[in-house]
Amino acid sequence: MPTELEILRDQIDSLDSELVGLLAKRAALTEQVGVYKSKVGLPIYVPAREAELIEQRCEQAKALGVPPALVEDLLRRIMRESYHTQNKRYMCCAPQVNNIVVIGGGGALGRIFVDMFTRSGYKVDVLEQKDWPRADAMFATASLVLVAVPIQLTEQIIAKLDNLPESCILADITSTKAVALAAMLKAHKGPVVGLHPMFGPDVSSMVKQVVVVCHGREEDKYQWLLQQMRVWGAALQETDAQEHDDSMVFIQVMRHFSSYVFGAHLLTENPSLDQLISLSSPIYRLELAMVGRLFAQDPALYTDIIFNNKDSVAVLTSFRDTFDHALDMLKKGDKGSFIKLFFKIGAWFGDYSKQSLVDSKKLLLKANDDRPDVQGHGAL
């Protein structure tokens, strides 16, 4: 005879099974939506549609006594998956385009663009070092040449591109823009644009991924390229090349360098990593994950990002001075000055600080959900 608990669990299992079946039906429908969007050229990601759907379902949740936050979390995860089911083929925004040449298309990030262009119906040629004897033949009919090589090779490669058709678009995807854009404008007389995809090679789609656009020359000639990335779901952010590089010192250089030094210090102190993980709070687990993931990737890439920004040394030296100032307050036991600076920093962040507290709670809950089982006697 089943117990009351077993009966309840059976009912829950039955409902969970129904949920899986509904998810399968939804996935089939979203795949059909993807086919339709690829035919008519609609973008995969439509922010207004997503916001409307979430708002409606959250109102429904309130009426049924279900926490709206739970429904929103579920919907966002389901929609993220639905974008992947729509991610098979895309409408070609410029069918008149001849071949696209991706220099370094066999690399980690270059492969993503080769794949996206191919799935959009373009003829794509990949040019690697061994292929340079055939480069002129590829360039002769090219409508777009995209430079996707390591940072230290970018200028050298661009300098070779002085024989492109005048109507051909020359673009790059390196993480520093001012030098690369200037090199492209010098080498090529036709349309030029600098791009910086703000994501790594491990992304499964471009939906909601930021691509920075730095305009160079003849902007009207490469509008089809920008529209194609919008169809892929990318969020385009336009900015000046130097402003981009100034921002990247903080967004990339400081972040990666701080993680590097954090990891180096852990190596020097050599604490038990298992112990740190088992005793950690959710926020520390996230921080440790941000540091750890750096060292699972290509060291040459991050070395280039840090070393090839002309402002790296100045900004990191200033960062060290700020660290020393805070450390000096600690050494002196000057809690008053420490708190005073704390409030000044909070004022600089403004409302973003409160919003970050709300947003980070979602990440912390996810980190806690994913926490592996810890052996022990439970809560103290």
Least confident of 9-23, 73-87, 89-103, 329-343: 73-87
Mean pLDDT, the chain, rounded, equals: 91
Phi, psi of 227 (to 5 degrees): -65, -35
Least confident of 44-53, 130-139, 230-239, 321-330: 44-53
How far the first Cα of the chain sits from its last, in Å, is 36
* pLDDT per residue as tens digits for the range 303-362: 999 998 889 999 999 999 999 999 999 999 999 999 999 999 999 999 999 999 888 887
56 found inside a domain? yes
71 found inside a domain? yes
Handedness of CA 201, 206, 207, 210 (dihedral sign): positive
The winner for highest mean pLDDT among 27-31, 131-135, 217-221 is 217-221
- Please state, in angstroms and rounded to a whole number, the distance separating the CA atoms of residues 297 and 113: 20
Residues in the chain: 380
- Whether the CB-CB separation of 216 and 184 falls below 8 Å is answered with yes
Residues 78 and 127 in one domain: no
Residues 179 and 303 in one domain: no
Q: Which two tokens stand for residue 149?
A: 């090589």
Which residues make Cβ contacts (< 8 Å) with residue 154, sequence separation at least 6?
A: 147, 172, 174, 179, 180, 183
91 found inside a domain? no
- Whether the CB-CB separation of 113 and 148 falls below 8 Å is answered with yes
Residues 268 and 224 in one domain: no
Q: What's the angle, vertex CA 234, arms to CA 36 and CA 292, rounded to 5?
A: 125
Please say which residue of 208, 239, 270 terminates a domain: 239
- Please state, in angstroms and rounded to a whole number, the distance separating the CA atoms of residues 104 and 126: 7
Which residues make Cβ contacts (< 8 Å) with residue 130, sequence separation at least 6?
A: none
Q: Which two tokens stand for residue 12?
A: 């829950």
47 found inside a domain? yes
CATH number of the domain encompassing residue 110:
3.40.50.720
Higher pLDDT, 82 or 250: 250
**Average pLDDT of the residues in 53-63:** 93
377 found inside a domain? no
Statement: residue 88 has pLDDT above 80? no
Residue-number span of the structural domain to which 355 is assigned: 245-369
The pTM of this model reads 0.83
What confidence score (pLDDT) does residue 371 get?
A: 66
Q: Which two tokens stand for residue 296?
A: 């699972």
Q: How many domains does the chain have?
A: 3
Provide the β-strand partners of residue 169: 144
Q: Give the CA dihedral 310, 352, 81, 21, nearest 10 degrees.
A: 160
Residues 210 and 299 in one domain: no
* pLDDT per residue as tens digits for the range 195-224: 999 998 888 789 899 999 999 999 999 999
Residue 334 vs residues 143, 326, 340: alpha-carbon distances, Å: 63, 10, 10
Residues 124 and 212 in one domain: yes
Residues 119 and 230 in one domain: yes
Residues 196 and 297 in one domain: no
90 found inside a domain? no
Least confident of 33-42, 66-75, 244-253, 268-277: 33-42
Please say which residue of 55, 85, 115 terminates a domain: 85
Please say which residue of 239, 267, 286 terminates a domain: 239
315: exposed, middle or buried (C-beta count within 10 Å: 0-12, 13-18, 19+)?
A: middle
Residues 267 and 222 in one domain: no
376 found inside a domain? no
Amino acid at 126: V
Residues 168 and 263 in one domain: no
Residues 122 and 153 in one domain: yes
**Average pLDDT of the residues in 130-152:** 94
374 found inside a domain? no
CATH number of the domain encompassing residue 52:
1.20.59.10
* % residues pLDDT > 90 (the chain): 71
- Whether the CB-CB separation of 209 and 234 falls below 8 Å is answered with yes
Residues 362 and 298 in one domain: yes
What confidence score (pLDDT) does residue 246 get?
A: 95
Residues 230 and 260 in one domain: no
